[in-house]
């Protein structure tokens, strides 16, 4: 199969003047090389396309592919992860991972929480702060946890995210609103254990690949899986595969509620009583074979990187066949 590969290369954007934190979600050469090699070993011909601009140029030049394996996080706007899938949809080219509407909603943590609650998936009570005046209208019981509403890779999650009073809430929101130019999601703090759950497949038919607990070590910031903890995971975090059926069930409910596709992760955290609550869903999970959470989870489960990539392609092809069967006869 002729497979195009779309991605945002971190080094390219650093050379254009972006900061390391601004491009934290983008991919390195190691990830692109690993994906290319895994797809090639799977018997496919791989064409490296690159970012949105490169994709547009190639499409306008008449190039087409049987499938596009997309890991591009996108740039600018709350719908940035949906930019390349939307363009591919317009040209009728199948792609891996979730549909555009799922990617757009999942990036907005407030919208995602609303979807979860409408489907009965347990999630922490929350409020949105769009301007500093909104801080006074937050009526949740302290402690709280705050983060930008539409960032990934734990960007904006710091030691200041754990909030104990109005003054700390105002301090965090003032900083986050100025830095990220987007609303702040404020949630009731969940003090229990934290997990990430690997998912494979589509909607109701998806399967749980495993439940991985994120255990913070002594050197870590104890407030949660912060940006610094994630970036320095080798010294701050221990990942453990655990048997937690209730956690797996919440993750599967969340994946189904959004109708996510192919593969990704659902993050779960327990409250003080040990009840699991939905935190976030990542329908466009990182695929670096060394340090991405989904790949670590698979490795700890004895599942190879090639198996994961082959399974993602197989899931996308299955959706393609299902969609084709629904088309009216000519």
pLDDT digits (tens, 9 = 90+) for 250-306: 999 999 999 999 999 999 999 999 999 999 999 999 999 999 999 999 999 999 999
Preceding amide of 143 cis, omega within 30: yes
H-type alpha helices, the chain = 10-15, 29-41, 52-60, 83-90, 100-107, 109-118, 166-180, 227-231, 233-236, 245-258, 293-300, 305-325
- pLDDT tens-digit series, residues 114-157: 999 999 999 999 999 999 999 999 999 999 999 999 887 788 89
Whole-number Å distance between alpha carbons of 99 and 131:
31
- β-bridge pairing 207-216 and 276-282: unpaired
Q: Is the distance from CB of 39 to CB of 306 less than 8 angstroms?
A: no
Q: Which CATH architecture has domain 2-95?
A: 3-Layer(aba) Sandwich (3.40)
pLDDT (0 to 100) of residue 71 = 98
pLDDT grade for 330, boundaries at 50, 70 and 90: very low
Three-state secondary structure call for residue 252 = helix
Nearest to 196 by CA among 279, 106, 123: 279
Q: Right CATH number for 125-188 from 3.40.50.720, 3.30.1490.20, 3.90.105.10, 1.10.1740.10? A: 3.30.1490.20
Class of residue 188 by CB neighbours under 10 A (exposed 0-12, middle 13-18, buried 19+): middle
Q: What are the domain boundaries of the chain?
A: 2-95, 125-188, 194-322
* Mean pLDDT, residues 96-112: 95
Nearest to 264 by CA among 196, 218, 214, 204: 196
- Does residue 26 carry a pLDDT above 80? yes
Tokens 């702040």 label which residue? 184
Residues in the chain: 330
Q: What's the mean per-residue pLDDT of the chain?
A: 93
Give strand pairing partners of 242: 211
Those residues with Cβ within 8 angstroms of residue 245's Cβ, 6 or more apart along the chain or in another chain? none
**pTM confidence score:** 0.92
What is the DSSP track for 97-162? S--HHHHHHHHSHHHHHHHHHHTT--B--EEEESSGGGGGG--PPSSEEEEETT--TTTT--GGGE
Three-state secondary structure call for residue 255 = helix
Q: Right CATH number for 194-322 from 3.30.360.10, 3.40.50.20, 3.30.40.10, 3.30.470.20? A: 3.30.470.20
Nearest to 4 by CA among 67, 53, 91: 67
Q: Is the distance from CB of 26 to CB of 13 less than 8 angstroms?
A: yes
Those residues with Cβ within 8 angstroms of residue 317's Cβ, 6 or more apart along the chain or in another chain? 67, 94
pLDDT (0 to 100) of residue 154 = 81
Token reading at 238: 């221990």
CA dihedral (205, 320, 108, 309) positive or negative: positive
CA dihedral (139, 140, 143, 145) positive or negative: negative
């Amino acid at each position: 199969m002729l497979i195009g590969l779309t991605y945002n290369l971190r080094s390219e954007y650093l050379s254009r003047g972006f900061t390391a934190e601004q491009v934290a979600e983008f991919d390195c050469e190691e990830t692109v090389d690993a994906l290319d090699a895994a797809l090639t070993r799977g018997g496919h011909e791989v064409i490296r396309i690159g970012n949105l601009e490169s994709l547009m140029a190639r499409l306008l030049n008449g190039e087409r592919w049987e499938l596009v394996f997309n890991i591009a996080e996108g740039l600018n706007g709350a719908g940035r992860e949906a930019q390349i899938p939307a363009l591919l949809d317009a040209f009728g080219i199948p792609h891996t991972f979730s549909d555009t509407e799922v990617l757009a909603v999942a990036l907005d943590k407030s919208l995602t929480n609303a979807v979860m609650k409408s489907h009965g998936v347990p999630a922490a009570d929350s409020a949105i702060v769009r301007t500093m005046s909104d801080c006074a209208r937050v009526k949740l019981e302290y402690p709280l946890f705050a983060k930008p509403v539409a960032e990934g890779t734990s960007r904006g999650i710091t030691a200041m995210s754990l909030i104990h009073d109005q003054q700390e809430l105002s301090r965090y929101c003032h900083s986050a609103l100025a830095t990220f130019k987007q609303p702040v999601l404020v949630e009731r703090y969940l003090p229990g254990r934290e997990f990430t759950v690997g998912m494979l497949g589509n909607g109701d038919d998806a399967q749980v690949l495993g439940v991985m607990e994120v255990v913070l070590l002594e050197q870590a910031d104890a407030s949660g899986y912060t940006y610094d903890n994630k970036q320095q995971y080798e010294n701050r975090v221990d990942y453990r595969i655990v048997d937690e059926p209730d956690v797996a069930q919440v993750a599967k409910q969340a994946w189904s509620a959004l109708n996510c596709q192919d593969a990704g992760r659902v993050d779960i955290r327990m409250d003080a009583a040990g009840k699991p609550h939905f935190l976030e869903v990542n329908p466009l999970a990182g695929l670096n074979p060394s340090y991405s959470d989904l790949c670590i989870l698979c490795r700890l489960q004895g599942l190879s990187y090639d198996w994961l990539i082959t399974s993602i392609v197989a899931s996308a092809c299955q959706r393609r066949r299902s969609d084709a069967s629904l088309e009216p006869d000519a």
